[in-house]
Structure 1
Amino acid sequence: MPQTLRALDMDDHPQVEVLSEGVWSGNDYVPDRFPIWVKDQNVSVFGILEGDELIAICALELVPGTTIAWAEGLRVKEGHREKGLAKKLVQHIKGIADEHGVRTLWYATSSRNEPSMAVAERVGFRLADSVGYFRLYRPFPDHPKPSLSYIPLEVDSDRLYDILLNNPELVESTTIPMAWEFDFRSKEGLERLSEKTQFKVVFDGNGDALSLYCRVDRKRKEELTSAFTLFARDRSIFIDVLSRMIDEAASANADRAVFFLGPRATEWALASGYVTEEFVDRKFLLYEYNPAAESGA
């Protein structure tokens, strides 16, 4: 049966729901996001149909005012996988991104999603960042009380930019994760991230930054997830901030807390006893593709 690659619209929503039934045991976010994508002028959603059946989907989201874009929501229907459909869609997304002058195309996935990683690598993406990742569920585990000696300070993006310049070892990479996304640790990137969250920094007595963290809440199907980002330079500060984040999740009445961690924090989390076997060595990955670099521009 012939296959067609085309832009999708709201008339395709029922088929998107059917396609996603076999993803994450029916808990895929794509059916909920699809109507938002279709209405957003910065998002283009494409699908591959076999006859009238939708068998693959992927979205391209342009970050306004930048040359950055995301490839997201890549899904292939059960019974049609390992047939090159994902590669075909991503190649198309890359072409559209190039037409829009995109210089940084990002794609994020779990280290447990080997087919997704393989597609990214086959079509020219490179691994740009890797962060630790684990979850806790309500009721949250017992944990130490946060110390009264440390008072996290809320900082805006300009202050945070200066802090990171003066404490470059606090965030080891050029990007910062936030709730299944990333952005650059540049002044502009921090401004974009600050529109979605409130950054907090813990300092020592000399004014050196010991930890950076933030939180974003997401609600889906009546369940609330608190997603935290945490970087730390000191193990005792890591334990203290982790306790604060667990308290924040409990106060928000979150059903789960998700943690995205810098390298040192990832190591300390594994030794904390909070990380279950499911999340040992699990990473959240950022892949990057630069259309201009490939074309030699």
Structure 2
Amino acid sequence: MSADLSNPAPSGGAASHDAGVLVLGGTPIGNLADATDRLKHYLATADVIAVEDTRTLRRLASGLDVQTRGRVVTNHDHNEAARSAQIVEAVEAGQVVLLLSDAGMPTVSDPGFAAAAAVADADLPVTVAPGPSAVLSALAVSGLPTGRFTFEGFLARKGSDRTQRLKSLQDEQRTMVFFESPHRTAATLADFVEYFGPERRAVVCRELTKLHEEVLRGTLAELQRWAEEHEVRGEIAIVVAGAKEPTPEAVENLTEAVEELVAKGVRLKAAAGQVAEAHGVSKRDLYQAVLAARSDEEE
């Protein structure tokens, strides 16, 4: 008989379970008032609490006026592999393990995935106590389309990994959500201008749910100028509108502009990329349209 975790005992009560479970707990991303009753319950009753930083846990429990009774262990980027095996053992032994990241939802651009995957692979229970998410919060307040989106997390800081990722996203039609450090925000927005175009709509979300929350909307060029002129501080999420789906007519009308660049010595793929970026259409579609036009002329 497994524990009924859908209706937990009141906060402060004893944990009642016959089988272990890993609980992924969402924690406030700034405002402690966003903590759920379920999170408070598990903080008070879990047998084991795995956290990135024990100091963050102490501040959280103190702010919520919750006294933890479970054994506290660290689970972070440097010890996840070894810790995951221990978490599996604890769940197998019938313990409730609460896994937290410093803020937001574990596993989402935060530690926790290795443990969740290990427990799931062991065919043991994994559940979630949902809570605040910087990804969804930024998406919701952005004012950009939310029906389809992709979370890209932190880009590689430099090199081919960063370049290839940005190139792969040039034609992405879904709204994109990124995380960035404050001191790299201006550079990242400059890269977005280069790869997505200066007129692409975007939103910079700073310090969401905190006292100095700020949401700035505009084109990528406008936001780049803002970041360059100000000292950017706090937790940053950047939401970028997806590429517009071009009409066949719009792409076909640009083939001559590509051929003009080719006549000047620019390689075809580079020429298609330049024209596509300038007009906000798919480089791939424009390249194919040029090849099709050339084929028609040869017939």
Larger fraction in helix: 2
What TM-score comes out, normalization by structure 1 length?
0.29
What TM-score comes out, normalization by structure 2 length?
0.28
* Rg larger in structure: 2
Larger fraction in strand: 1
Q: Which has the higher contact order (CA 8 A, sep 6+)?
A: 1
